[in-house]
């Protein structure tokens, strides 16, 4: 049986339009090529420490097949690398809203996306630790 920490259930998906608008209005952003990461950290008031959103621009990837393949690769890289982030968020009693936006010019394989996702997770963990120290 698989470890429950490696799942990506519906509760962890960022889908509320209000939350998405607040994330892009008030959140911070950084680049971990080929991903642009928009994030917002706040006090934990939910049962899930992080909610994530994955996006690939239609302007750059016209065919839905390409967009869906890239989103699937991004979700898989997130799913496998999120336990470290969840530990830090739970320890600091923080909630994270995160949007991963693909900014690469060409369709890339999984290993490139995973490398960017690992960089993004390391940066998110660092930000969460700094934010936890402030409070």
Q: How far is 118 from 116, CA to CA, in rounded Å?
A: 5
Give the position of tokens 């065919």. Answer: 63
pTM over 0.75: yes
Question: Looking at the domain assignment, is residue 1 inside a domain?
Answer: no
Question: Looking at the domain assignment, is residue 2 inside a domain?
Answer: no
Predicted confidence (pLDDT) per residue in 82-108, tens digit: 999 999 988 888 889 999 999 999 999
Question: Looking at the domain assignment, is residue 121 inside a domain?
Answer: yes
Predicted confidence (pLDDT) per residue in 61-70, tens digit: 999 999 999 9
Q: According to the model, what pLDDT value does residue 124 have?
A: 95
Q: According to the model, what pLDDT value does residue 34 have?
A: 95
Question: Looking at the domain assignment, is residue 9 inside a domain?
Answer: no
Domain that holds residue 46: 15-134
CATH code at position 104: 3.30.230.10
Domains: count for the chain:
1
Question: Looking at the domain assignment, is residue 94 inside a domain?
Answer: yes
Question: Looking at the domain assignment, is residue 23 inside a domain?
Answer: yes
In this prediction, residues 58-83 reach a mean pLDDT of 96
More confident residue, 99 or 5: 99
């Amino acid at each position: 049986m698989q470890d429950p920490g490696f799942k990506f259930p519906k509760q962890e998906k960022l889908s509320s339009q209000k939350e998405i608008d607040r994330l892009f209005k008030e959140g911070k952003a950084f680049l971990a090529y080929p991903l642009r990461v928009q994030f917002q950290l706040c006090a934990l008031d939910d049962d899930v420490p992080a909610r994530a959103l994955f996006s690939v621009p239609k302007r750059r990837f016209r065919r839905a097949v390409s967009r869906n393949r890239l989103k699937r690769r991004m979700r898989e890289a997130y799913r496998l690398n999120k336990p470290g982030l969840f530990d830090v968020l739970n320890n600091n009693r923080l909630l994270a809203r995160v949007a991963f936006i693909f900014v690469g010019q060409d369709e890339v394989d999984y290993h490139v996306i995973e490398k960017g996702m690992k960089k993004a997770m390391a940066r998110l963990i660092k930000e969460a630790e700094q934010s936890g120290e402030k409070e």
